[in-house]
Structure 1
Amino acid sequence: MQVLLNDLSFWSFLRFYILSKVLRFAEFFYFVIPNYFEIKKIKSFKNLKVGKSAFVFAGGPSISQLDINKIKIYKDKGFDVFAGNSFINSNLGQVIKPDYYFISDDKFFHKHNSSFVYDENLKVVRNIEEMGIPCFYPHRYSKYVSRHNNSFIFNDTIDLFSSNVADLTKPRPYVSMTLYKALSLACYMGYSKIYICGFDNDYFKNYQCNHKNEIYFEDKHFYTNEIGENTIRKVDKNFHKSMSSLLIHISTLFSGLEKFEKYPIINLDCQGLVDAFSKDHNLDIYK
């Protein structure tokens, strides 16, 4: 995204800057202020886990490299687990109960497809609440959240001009990826080692464009075969009108992770494309 901003003329950059600040103010007025005291509860997590270690698991296929039983051994030794979205429906989620959970995708709160899909997603939210796992939701969806001690609202405002990476009470400078936000909390909590996996960001490798210039790709997760998920996706032209637009978006996924480089993050996907973090470790974690 920074490269894109650098290519703008002065006046285009100024218009973009002003628009971003107007949108941020609107979000602050409509969502942050009404949830101000709920959002401030996130402050209680600051440096709560200094000296501890954690796993942050996203949904990419690289998770399949890991041995569930070996992960459980590390969890029993005191490692915490951050996860989100549909993780709890997977075999891994059934064996490894997450310590912290993030639900951020709008598919959990809006009926974009069939009511069956919506009901399945909503069931994830209810399951997490019933299990008593601390769960974190974006401020704009606070009205859907059952208010109890294990539900937390965070500031999900994006501000590309912000330098804040870890504090979820403030606007973030990276793209809206659910487990990026979980990674933010892990950094905020002060873990000495944060091991990540499933942050593949490589589905662009199978983009296909048909005779109508419609772009399709296969969006696979590590639990795809387990739950019979349909993985063929059509790119919405309302968001990305061309392949160039789409590839620029892909670059922001990688540059977003680069903003976390100063934190003690280790990538367990040794052959993955994410090169922002060290891949050196001594964990016995693979199959």
Structure 2
Amino acid sequence: MKLFNNIKSLKNKEAGRRAFILANGPSIAKEDLSVLKGELTIGMNASTLLEATHNFRSDYYVLSDTRFITHPEKKHLATTALHPETVRVLRSELKELDHKELANPTYYIPALQRDGFSKNLHAGYFFGCTTTMLAIQLAYYLGVSEIYLLGCDLRYQAESPRFYTETNPQLEDSFTSVQIWNIVNASNLLESEGKRLVSCSEMSFLRPYIEYEPFARAVESSDVFA
């Protein structure tokens, strides 16, 4: 594995670009993600399945949940199923559980506290009870100007909490308010710096709190906010 201990090499690496974050809510399954070819994408958890379906690859991949990488039906999605050039950014606690022979450049960073926003991933990140928060903080650290959230529904319905099928679904209803608070806090911080955090999920519980834009319209836009 190409292990990099110093994530400082990623700081502002994608300055001025826009990024699409691939969360795992059911709504993402309705989108034509093949149009993401050439776009900066940050995947997480089972988003690897979407790459295979829509014939694209994520530039970055994040993972923070120990339950995911230890699950026998899911671990390969965070390891061997990824494109070897996808850069992985994982919570440091996952290092000992990770696959040891991947070609992917991989960084491990510590979790600080639950609530907040880190501008410096070298020091760590705030986990906010959702891997989406790691993706947002990574996008900020990369220097991204516009961040679009796909599939960040935050509706953990028992019959379909995520876009993919699970034998034993992991529900997060008790943390939804924490997740919303942290993502809205991130949106406010980004806005104060002239950047955007946009939800592309019409059904998301984020809809009343942060900017919404349909994915089709977002991907067609050529505006870049510096």
TM-score by length of 1: 0.62
Q: Give the count of matched residue pairs.
A: 207
Question: Which of 273, 278, 282 is the matching residue for 2:205?
Answer: 273
1:169 match: 122
1:14 match: none
After superposition, residues 175-190 of structure 1 pair within 5 angstroms as 175-190=128-143
* Higher Cα Rg, which structure: 1
User: Which deviates further from its counterpart, 143-152 or 80-89?
Assistant: 143-152
Q: In the aligned structure 2, how far is the partner of 1:170 from the partner of 1:133?
A: 22
Q: Secondary structure of 2:96's partner?
A: helix
Q: Secondary structure of 1:182's partner?
A: helix
1:4 match: none
- How far did 1:272 drift? 2.2
1:283 match: 218
After superposition, residues 14-163 of structure 1 pair within 5 angstroms as 39=5, 41-69=6-34, 71-72=35-36, 75-76=37-38, 79-90=39-50, 95-110=55-70, 117-118=71-72, 120-128=73-81, 131-145=84-98, 146=100, 150-158=105-113, 160=115, 163=116
TM-score by length of 2: 0.77
Distance 1:149 1:121, change over 3 A: closer
Q: Secondary structure of 2:212's partner?
A: coil
Distance 1:90 1:154, change over 3 A: same
Q: In the aligned structure 2, how far is the partner of 1:128 from the partner of 1:202?
A: 27
Q: Could you tell me whether the CA contact under 8 Å between 2:153 and 2:203 is conserved in 1?
A: no
What's the CA shift string for 1:22-70, capped at 9, x where partnerless? xxxxxxxxxxxxxxx955x21221222122111001000111231133x
Distance 1:155 1:128, change over 3 A: farther
2:167 match: 230
Q: In the aligned structure 2, how far is the partner of 1:81 from the partner of 1:170?
A: 23
Aligned partner letter, 2:15: V
Q: Secondary structure of 2:180's partner?
A: helix
Q: Which 5+ residue runs of structure 1 have no aligned equivalent?
A: 1-36, 111-116, 207-216, 236-245
2:150 match: 197
What's the CA shift string for 1:113-155, capped at 9, x where partnerless? xxxx51x323223325662311111111222343766011111
Q: Secondary structure of 1:180's partner?
A: helix
Q: Could you tell me whether the CA contact under 8 Å between 1:82 and 1:98 is conserved in 2?
A: yes
- How far did 1:93 drift? 5.5
